[in-house]
Chains A and B, each alone.
Chain A
């Protein structure tokens, strides 16, 4: 069979597209998991967090997060009565190894665990030039590591500082809500290791999920509601000073 130059010119782009498809590979199978039945969220109960840093350590181990970068971290707030708008905040090494003793100068102290808010209208996915970061059909914001350019626009666009560039892969990285675990019926690493149950993974599509009762009976807030990102990380006991 002979191929003319015209046929070759038509075939080459088609072959390039096919090769790209082959390189993309097939996703990891999870036969018992149905995306359509899930809409994942996280409930963080600030009143229960003791700042032990187990969640940070658990996440780093489970997800091989490089030192100095954080998929989740814990902040400690210290607020004086007369300075409600200007809290003092620290998070030594993301709170991984707990915190030094707090000031005893009055005011109040509390811990705020942070992670990706898995926003339904996430600014980070909006700005990605190639769609390497996306909201999955079950509501988790993910990054395709084989597709990300490493342009860092998403890191700039995240209002919560949840993203970083992994120095090993040179791609954007963030909390995946332990997608590899939750699609197999497990909970996230941070929820698993939290000794006080301050973090609860929730499926908003499951009417039996305890989150529905909790949301009905508690004053729950999201971080930076003015950003209108439809965050799915709900905080109980969130102080107005928290940023």
Chain B
């Protein structure tokens, strides 16, 4: 495959090493961390307005977390050796910690918190359902059918404690992803101590946006009214987080422009040519400024519910496009220029290939399939059977 090159690249640099799948990885983990942090708002910080999205946010985080390692596995030259990261992790490698951070977050935080939160529902459903559903719920009870007020109180306290531990864990998960890039001193596009912080805030932005969109979509599909206080609060948090995220990114940009080190000319050229559409148009104008302005309008002008809902939906979609573009520009952009700063290569993405567009599309859809299954098994909103049971004395 011929890859067009401008100027001079070191001969081994012409082919890009990290593909669209590695773009997906930080995008997916960002959604996980962001959704979890949103859930923690209700649990730890007592923001009651976002309560309707609490369980949905947790399930969303789990669905995306289950898919997050898949692009990495597909990308590896030898996926069958990936377990070596657990057996013989290399202490000095940022990447070696992935498995541990991932397992900690998946098992010790997310799954445990979801189980504790749903335990009462699971026990009730294991007694009220029949057939295969009953079998699933009986397994999920893990043999504990005690839903006395005392037991539920213990669940609640344990869940609170896990969420408290989960917040720094979510920060760790995504800050760490930023560190993987930010610590590569050979690459001036990546090498920045701001990278983990920028990744973290962009994660929160994308996580809030995806839960906002999912909540509005699922509520509409269920024919229920959208809780405007809830979406207004989420939109407000999205707006504030976005401003911090944008400020950090601009700080990084201004610093690079003002400092203008040896890599600047090369990077500047790249932003104005190869990355112009994905960076300037998609990430900054369409994916950042437009949603910030839209959300800002809702903060200063009193608009009707319908208009606000439409604005939130538009801003949410644009946000996700912008954050995906940001991941693209970091991962792909960081490989388009030569480390000699004398030339540029081109990213050629296949369609039906292991690391092609089709795989990326499938992996992007997969979390929603998982979420659908999770919502079916663990409904985030009270079901009739559960409500009836709640109304009757236990």
Contacts and interface: CB of A to CB of B under 8 A. Distances in A.
A160 B85 contact: no
A129 B96 CA distance: 4
Contacts of B185: 123, 159, 227
Contact of B184 (A94, A156, A164): A156
Contacts of B98: 129
A162 interface: yes
Given A129-B90, A156-B18, A161 B77 contact: no
Contacts of B186: 123, 156-159, 227
B13 interface: yes
A149 B82 contact: yes
A161 B12 contact: yes
A147 to B, nearest CB: 7
B187 A156 contact: yes
Contacts of A165: 17, 77
B280 to A, nearest CB: 25
B260 to A, nearest CB: 13
B93 interface: yes
B93 A126 contact: yes
Given A89-B340, A89-B342, A152 B78 contact: no
B184 A131 contact: no
Contact of A149 (B78, B92, B342): B78
B10 interface: yes
Given A69-B12, A160-B10, A150 B78 contact: yes
A153 interface: yes
Contacts of B264: none
Contact of B85 (A88, A123, A130): A130
A165 B82 CA distance: 17
Interface string A112-129: 001000000001011111
Interface residues of B, number: 40
A147 B81 contact: yes
B89 interface: yes
A243 B340 contact: yes
B88 interface: yes
Contacts of A69: 11-12
Contacts of A155: 12, 17
Interface residues of A, number: 45
A123 B87 CA distance: 22
B81 A149 contact: yes
Contacts of A170: 77-78
Interface string A145-182: 00111111101111111111100011100000000000
A150 B77 contact: yes
A46 to B, nearest CB: 16
Nearest to A125: B92
A19 to B, nearest CB: 12
A148 B77 contact: yes
B70 interface: no
B95 A153 contact: yes
B84 interface: yes
B85 to A, nearest CB: 5
B339 A152 contact: no
A90 interface: yes
A91 interface: yes
A139 B261 CA distance: 32
A156 B95 CA distance: 12
A182 to B, nearest CB: 23
A40 interface: no
A84 to B, nearest CB: 13
A156 B11 CA distance: 14
B341 interface: yes
Contact of B78 (A73, A90, A148, A157): A148
Given A89-B340, A171-B77, A126 B10 contact: no
17 contacts: A69-B11, A69-B12, A73-B10, A75-B8, A87-B342, A93-B11, A127-B94, A129-B96, A149-B76, A149-B77, A149-B79, A155-B12, A155-B17, A156-B17, A159-B186, A161-B10, A243-B341
Interface of B: 8-13, 15, 17-18, 72, 75-79, 81-82, 84-85, 87-90, 92-96, 98, 180, 184-187, 335, 338-342
Given A153-B93, A160-B339, A227-B186, 19 more contacts: A75-B8, A87-B342, A88-B8, A89-B340, A90-B8, A93-B11, A123-B186, A128-B90, A129-B85, A129-B98, A130-B89, A149-B82, A150-B78, A156-B184, A157-B184, A161-B12, A165-B77, A171-B78, A243-B339
Interface of A: 20, 69-70, 73, 75, 86-91, 93-94, 114, 123, 125-131, 147-153, 155-165, 169-171, 227, 243
Which 7 A-B residue pairs are closest in the complex by CB-CB distance? A150-B77, A161-B10, A170-B77, A159-B186, A243-B340, A131-B90, A89-B8
